[in-house]
């Protein structure tokens, strides 16, 4: 009897802590590097995933994701493929400004953001709904190209959280209930059937926000 093929698995990894993460300002598609603590995080992540059995590595083109992926290349021996659609949401004119500055200058828009309106163009740029749609399309394409493989995907907290919410069938306003810490691992089987019938439902979340490699650090 032939072996059962491996379920296609996406291992979704949020990049290590960046300087922008600790700056106190809003950021989206800025090219912030990893912080010193983030560099420690990615080394621990890379050591943990060295023998995880992954066959592919795909990453966002933003610097913090590139640096995280480089650490994984060093331990897994995989070659990284860069996918621009995995970039974080663009926040336009809000980039590099504090919450207080934006709230004072644009109170109506900031109130919508505090309510986590997924259809708000952040800083006049991208909505979370649109950013999540492009990220989801990228992940679907990656999974289709590499069926029956385990794929490491390095991306960003906002869009990865939104993709997970979609697999779970959550309203996008609820996606912020999902914790995604820096260098966390979340695992999805995008083609696993979870419901039959005429409205066949595919996609199962196996794990969210695994940071076991950071324990006691």
Evaluate whether 51 touches 74 at the Cβ level (below 8 Å): no
Catalytic option among 9, 15, 17, 213: 15
CA distance 116 to 1: 51
Is 17 catalytic? The answer is no
Catalytic option among 88, 126, 149, 156: 88
Please give the structure tokens belonging to residue 34: 């990893």
Which of 119, 16, 121 minimizes the C-alpha distance to 72?
A: 16
Beta strand spans in the chain (E): 9-14, 56-59, 80-82, 150-155, 185-195, 201-210
Is 156 catalytic? The answer is no
- Cα three-residue angle 80-211-163, rounded to 5 degrees: 60
Please give the structure tokens belonging to residue 83: 């996918």
Q: Which residues are catalytic?
A: 15, 88
């Amino acid at each position: 009897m032939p072996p059962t093929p491996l379920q296609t698995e996406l291992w979704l990894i949020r990049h290590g802590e960046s300087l922008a993460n600790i700056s106190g300002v809003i950021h989206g598609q800025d090219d912030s590097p990893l912080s010193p603590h983030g560099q420690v995080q990615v080394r621990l992540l890379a050591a943990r995933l060295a023998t995880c059995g992954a066959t592919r590595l795909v990453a966002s083109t933003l610097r913090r994701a590139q640096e995280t992926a480089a650490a994984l290349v060093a331990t897994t021996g995989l070659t990284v493929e860069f996918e621009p659609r995995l970039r974080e949401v663009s926040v336009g004119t809000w980039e590099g400004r504090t919450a207080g500055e934006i709230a004072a200058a644009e109170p109506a828009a900031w109130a919508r953001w505090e309510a986590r309106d997924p259809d708000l163009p952040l800083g006049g740029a991208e909505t979370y709904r649109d950013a999540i749609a492009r990220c989801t399309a990228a992940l679907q394409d990656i999974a289709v190209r590499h069926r029956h493989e385990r794929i490491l995907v390095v991306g960003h907290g906002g869009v990865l959280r939104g993709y997970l919410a979609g697999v779970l069938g959550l309203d996008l306003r609820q996606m912020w209930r999902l914790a995604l810490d820096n260098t966390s691992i979340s695992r999805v089987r995008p083609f696993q059937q979870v419901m039959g019938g005429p409205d066949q439902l595919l996609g199962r979340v196996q794990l969210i926000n695994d940071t076991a490699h950071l324990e006691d650090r």
